[in-house]
């Protein structure tokens, strides 16, 4: 498991390097500041980029890394205990998120699961990323949910902004799209989630996520 650690905080870089480098099968190939992340990602081609999400602009950083190297899995760490932040990071393209309350063992389990393209069956401090949130709307099936189509990253962004209380026009301005486009996304989300009002969308996504997260783990590791 070749990992690139991205953080502007030196003590965070050194701490993660010290903790993870002691684990069998883990190779910290570099620890870099955000301004060097895209270049290092392209040059080193890591399996996983571990990004410090404590920065206010972490959503944009994740988007840039995902866009510049789609084959690399991006995992955000230090994520605050807020559903909205998890949804935003998921929509930006993260393969997994590790909350700021997680222990080092929790982080390692998430990295292992992400590397194996499996949902991170892990304790509550660790939240699922984009692939796992897609499962919540029924993309992977087998979760007991009757939803046949997954929510797109854009729809997850809109669900987060709806929960923040923004009207369609404000959502459109924030995302750089027309209010009519937002309305179309909301219509599609209502169909996918089998709800009738826009106010039910964020609550349904959150309920599905919490239900998935609280499922007992059936898979102790990668096969």
Q: What is the pLDDT of residue 185?
A: 93
| Whether residues 124 and 157 fall in one domain | no
* Res. 121: pLDDT tops 60: no
Q: How far apart are CA 132 and CA 119, in angstroms?
A: 6
Domain-embedded: residue 216: no
120 and 186: one domain? no
pLDDT digits (tens, 9 = 90+) for 177-216: 899 999 999 999 898 888 888 888 877 777 765 554 444 4
Examine the pLDDT at 26 and tell me if it is beyond 60. Answer: yes
- pLDDT score recorded for residue 119: 47
Total number of domains in the chain: 2
pLDDT score for 113: 81
- What residue numbers bound the domain in which 193 lies? 153-211
Residues 115 and 193 placed together within one structural domain of the fold: no
User: Helices in 69-178 by DSSP H: which ranges?
Assistant: 83-92, 104-115, 130-136, 153-163, 168-175
CATH of the domain at 186: 1.10.10.10
Q: What distance in Å separates the CA atoms of residue 196 and residue 199, rounded to the nearest whole number?
A: 9
- pLDDT tens-digit readout, 74-106: 888 888 765 666 767 776 778 888 888 778 788
CATH number of domain containing 105: 3.40.50.2300
Domain assignment of residue 146, yes or no: no
Same domain, 157 and 125: no
Domain end residue (candidates: 129, 145, 166): 129
Provide mean pLDDT across the span 32-50: 89
Q: Are 6 and 51 in contact (CB under 8 A)?
A: yes
**pLDDT in the model for residue 84:** 62
- Could you tell me if residue 196 is inside a domain? yes
Q: In the predicted model, what is the mean pLDDT of the chain?
A: 75
- Residue 186: predicted pLDDT: 93
109 and 164 in a single domain? The answer is no
Looking at the structure, do residues 163 and 108 belong to the same domain, yes or no? no
The whole-angstrom separation of Cα 151 and Cα 134 is 6
């Amino acid at each position: 498991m070749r990992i690139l650690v991205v953080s502007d905080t030196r003590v965070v870089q050194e701490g993660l390097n010290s903790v993870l480098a002691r684990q069998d099968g883990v190779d910290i190939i570099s620890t870099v500041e955000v301004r060097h992340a895209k270049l290092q990602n392209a040059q080193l081609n890591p399996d996983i980029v571990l990004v410090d999400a404590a920065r206010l602009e972490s959503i944009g950083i994740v988007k840039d890394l995902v866009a510049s190297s789609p084959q690399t899995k991006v995992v955000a760490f230090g994520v605050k205990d807020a559903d909205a932040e998890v949804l935003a990071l998921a929509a930006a393209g993260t393969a997994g998120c590790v909350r700021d309350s997680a222990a080092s063992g929790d982080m390692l389990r998430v990295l292992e699961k992400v590397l194996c393209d499996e949902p991170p069956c892990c304790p509550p401090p660790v939240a699922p990323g984009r692939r796992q949130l897609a499962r919540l709307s029924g993309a992977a099936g087998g979760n007991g949910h009757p939803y046949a189509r997954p929510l797109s990253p854009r729809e997850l962004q809109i669900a987060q902004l709806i929960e923040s209380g923004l009207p369609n026009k404000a959502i459109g301005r924030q995302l750089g799209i027309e209010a009519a486009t937002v309305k179309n996304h909301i219509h599609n989300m209502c169909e996918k989630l089998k709800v009738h009002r826009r106010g039910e969308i964020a609550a349904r996504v959150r309920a599905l996520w919490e239900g998935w997260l609280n499922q007992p783990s059936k898979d102790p590791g990668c096969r």
